[in-house]
Amino acid sequence: MDDSRELSRRTALALGGSGALGGALILAGCAPSDSAVDGGGDSGGDAGSGASTPTDAAGEDVAALADIPVGGSIGATIGGEPVLLAQPTAGEVVAFSAICTHQRCTVAAAGASFECPCHGSVFDAATGEVEQGPALEPLPSVPVTVEGDRVIAG
Ligand code: FES
């Protein structure tokens, strides 16, 4: 009797696993996450897994192309998550997660660079690469496309 109960419980957990993941992604997209700083502090592993791009946000209108200076950058959100947009050359827009790969502070747009206010890391706005530590990993890129005069997620 106990065995069958244990089995059904495991099955439920296994089924719940994938459902919970989907639910978490949906919640992440809807959550009013205004403070992603000072989280769990379990940043021991390197940030190789990167930011999970909220795929639900594909097609979201992110910004006006004209709002991003050529050679400069701005902050925005995609799916409620902070991102950084840059326009290295006219009509070419790139986007990156604004979550610092050092300790997850929110990185700010600063012209041709992105600057983290917490410990001074600086990233190249055109590539997301680290220009100055302590961050070691680049900011993960986020897919965006230019459609007419708008920047669209995905
Ligand atoms: S959290 Fe960005 S430099 Fe430390």
pLDDT (tens digit per residue) in 4-48: 444 444 433 333 333 333 333 333 433 344 444 444 444 444 444
Q: Which two tokens stand for residue 117?
A: 């206010």
Atom of ligand 1 nearest to the CA of 120: 3
Distance 27 CA to ligand 1 centre (A): 26
* Residue 55 binned pLDDT confidence (cut-offs 50, 70, 90): low
Distance 142 CA to ligand 1 centre (A): 19
* Residue 57 binned pLDDT confidence (cut-offs 50, 70, 90): confident
What does the pLDDT look like over 95-142, one tens digit per residue? Answer: 999 999 999 999 999 999 999 999 999 999 999 999 999 999 999 999
**Close Cβ partners of 38 (under 8 Å, ≥ 6 residues apart):** none
What distance, in Å, lies between the first and last C-alpha atoms of the chain?
Answer: 50
User: What kind and span of H or E run contains 15?
Assistant: helix 2-30
3-state SS assignment for residue 16: helix
pTM of the model: 0.66
CA-to-CA dists, residue 84 to 62, 64, 116, 126, angstroms: 10, 13, 12, 10
At residue 85, the pLDDT reads 98
Q: Which two tokens stand for residue 87?
A: 């326009």
